[in-house]
Amino acid sequence: MFSRDRWQEIFQTIRKNKLRTFLSGFTVALGILIFTVLFGMGNGLKNTFNEFFMDDATNTFYLYPGRTSVPYKGFKKGRQVEFRNDDLEDIKKDFALYLDKITPRTSKSELARYKGESNTYNVRAVAPAYQEMEKNILMKGRYINEKDIAERAKNIVIGRLVEIDLFGKSESALGKYLNVGGVMYRIVGVFQDDGGDNEERYIYMPYTTRQLLDKGTDKIDQIVLTYKTNIGYAGAMAFDTSLYKYLKDKHKVAPEDQNGIYLSNTADIVRRNMMFANVLQIVVVFVGIGTLIAGVIGISNIMVFVVKERTKELGIRKALGATPASVIGLVLQESIFITTIAGYIGLVLGMGILSLMGNNFKEDYFITNPEVGLDVVITATVILIFFGVVAGYIPAKRAARVKPIVALRDE
């Protein structure tokens, strides 16, 4: 393996057969290149799914009141269902076994003003539990707390970009008063969110304050809750079914009516979408494996031709005393060298293409940060090299068995 003479022979053979060497290496490099890029794009799709669905808590139910589509218990169809504060208390009491946290959510678009700056933002009225559900990260101050809820305080928490929009980069918004919808609120906290710019342009206020401003109503637009993670997926689906039925019974919505109340279960949504992402990656992997197989077949064909072309040369070597093992070793060492170098080139090119892609395909093709583990592509390269060795070994062994006189007669 480390014989200087043998390496000189290999390099001499490569120089004399540049086209053959190029074709052998090109097949290997192309196979690894395509496999790396495809596998990386598959991971990019999974990254997009993770980014989209994992920004918020995944053990979350979203409940929305709708409009009934069938008459039920004396009520006509087309009735608007309304959630109220007592729904929160009833869910806390009757589903304590499943429930982790719960909050109402009421949204309204309002104009916010500070000195000469103004902009329109989505203002959400929530309870303290919403911070953990939305995964808001506090930068300054605090979040809405239970005292704010009890006192119906005019305190708000604003997103990082709201602060930049209205206060600039040099002035802190904490403790300042902000005019939102014609009402002055004190800013008690500033948050950031990994979900992106849109998530950092929200304003949060106590839901009881919103109800007070809306003529003392106790109406709720939506209910958001999280369940205990230890109940598992099966428990979450059981909770889903029980809660949906419970709210339909309470609000006199027909069991078969799909429009009176809506329940969105993120656990089920995430599970289905991740299964879809995994299937996509499996398809991509199979395409990549098919590419590797095509590379193996290409190497096999080239190696058969290489050994056939060198039959007379191998015959001369045997006539001069070379053993069958040394003949086979020479061919295999040359094959391993070419496939290793070519595989490394394909690997580097593939990783380079993925690096250049970055997030440029995120908007149009939903591919975020396409990447592939170095262990995966190295394993694929080793597999391709292994099959390249096998592909070279079979014809080399056959040639090594040919008698020198027969080999010398070969045309």
Asked whether residue 55 carries a pLDDT value surpassing 60, the answer given is no
Least confident of 6-20, 81-95, 220-234: 6-20
DSSP string, 320-371: TT--HHHHHHHHHHHHHHHHHHHHHHHHHHHHHHHHHHTTTTHHHH---S--
Please give the Cα distance from 45 to 50 (Å, whole number).
Answer: 9
Q: How many CB atoms lie within 10 A of CB 399?
A: 23
pLDDT for residue 2:
60
Tokens coding 399: 């040639």
Please give the Cα distance from 158 to 54 (Å, whole number).
Answer: 22
pLDDT for residue 326:
79
Least confident of 11-25, 69-83, 205-219, 231-245: 11-25
Kindly report the average pLDDT of the chain as a whole number. 84
Q: Quick one: which of 330, 304, 308, 305 has its CA closest to 317?
A: 330
pLDDT for residue 316:
75
Q: Quick one: which of 163, 161, 155, 167 has its CA closest to 193?
A: 161
Interval 284-294 mean pLDDT: 73
Asked whether residue 147 carries a pLDDT value surpassing 80, the answer given is yes
Helix (H) or strand (E) holding 62: strand 60-65
Asked whether residue 161 carries a pLDDT value surpassing 90, the answer given is yes
Is the pLDDT higher at 250 or at 32? 250
pTM for the complete prediction? 0.63
The structural domains of the chain, with segments of one domain joined by +, span: 4-53+271-409, 99-227
Q: Quick one: which of 393, 396, 388 has its CA closest to 26?
A: 388
Asked whether residue 155 carries a pLDDT value surpassing 80, the answer given is yes
Interval 354-366 mean pLDDT: 76
Please give the Cα distance from 380 to 382 (Å, whole number).
Answer: 5
pLDDT for residue 341:
86
Tokens coding 236: 């979450």
Interval 115-126 mean pLDDT: 96
Interval 25-30 mean pLDDT: 82
Cβ-contact 205, 185 below 8 angstroms: yes
60-76 residue pLDDT tens: 899 999 999 999 999 99
pLDDT for residue 250:
96
